[in-house]
Amino acid sequence: MTATLIDGKAFAALIREKVATHVARIKEAQGVTPGLAVVLVGDDPASEVYVRSKGKQTVEAGMNSFEHKLPVDTTQEALLELIETLNADPSVHGILVQLPLPSHLDESLVINAIDPAKDVDGFHISNVGLLATGQKSMVPCTPLGCVMMLRDQLGDLSGKDAVVIGRSNIVGKPMAQLLLRESCTVTIAHSRTKDLPEVVKRADIVVAAVGRANFVQGDWIKPGATVIDVGINRIPAPERGEGKSRLVGDVDFAAAKEVAGAITPVPGGVGPMTIACLLANTLTACCRAHGLAEPD
């Protein structure tokens, strides 16, 4: 059996289109343009690529993009001052601080300085608490994209056995909260989990967010399960030429696709959905700020 490929790229394009249509409507009817401010400290090449891509897609959706590139030696005080300015700016509806920050900066202090209503990454402690207590919040983009793909693929998720591998604050934990909200029976696995293959084998839904290339083996997967691969790992690819590399996920895709019912590829799965959900969150934040109907 070969699994259905979950096409995150195509799904993300649909979301972006819906966002752009809604943005055009509120611009026309209300004269409001959603704005996203992205803050990048330092010159990490991977972060620069993400920030560029976010800015480009924001503009393509008809929204305003405000990029703030700060030097690597930016002080905590200066960064907090910028966040205060963005919090107070009515043309900015979403604020995203690109992580990781240089080590002299206190990530949680910085994230919690963002106005929770503008926290489009959903990492502010208020949004984390609201999500955990089942209240309206800003939902982290990567897990939001994962749950959208799962609902699209499987319909009602209630009663499904879901295993999330990874317990980070940005992926694993909010992913588990969202699956719980969908009435799944959720297990969170991590580096201390005993007999991980057996844990994964009972899952109807597997979400891998580990950060280790090809870690989840094909024979761990229950036949017919849906596999969402969050991992982005760069590995050497000598077959493409000397010094070349390629991206792979946390799941051994070639083996897993022979067992799973459906699976996301890497690249082209979760990645594009994350940015599409960021645009959707920015639009939602803008609608809430102006008392407008939220997009569905």
> Among all residues, which ones are annotated catalytic?
54, 98, 121
Q: Which of 158, 191, 291, 293 binds ligand NDP (CB under 6 A)?
A: 191
Tell me the C-alpha distance between 135 and 158, whole Å: 19
Q: Which of 74, 274, 281, 284 binds ligand NDP (CB under 6 A)?
A: 274
Residue 8 binding ligand NDP, by CB under 6 A: no
List b or e across 9-23, with b for residues whose CB sees 16 or more CB atoms inside 10 angstroms.
Answer: eebbeebbebbbebb
Residue 34 binding ligand NDP, by CB under 6 A: no
Q: What would the x/- binding string for ligand NDP be over residues 222 to 251, using CB under 6 A?
A: --------xxxx------------------
Q: Which of 57, 58, 74, 142 binds ligand NDP (CB under 6 A)?
A: 142
Residue 111 binding ligand NDP, by CB under 6 A: no
Residue 35 has φ and ψ, to the nearest 5°, of -130, 135
Residue 33 binding ligand NDP, by CB under 6 A: no
Asked if residues 88 and 289 have their Cβ atoms less than 8 Å apart, the reply is no
Asked if residues 94 and 102 have their Cβ atoms less than 8 Å apart, the reply is no
Q: Is the peptide bond before 100 cis (omega within 30 degrees of 0)?
A: yes
Closest CA to 213 of 265, 249, 261: 249
Residue 167 binding ligand NDP, by CB under 6 A: yes
Positions touching ligand NDP (CB under 6 A) are 142, 165-168, 170-172, 189-193, 196, 209-212, 230-233, 270-271, 274
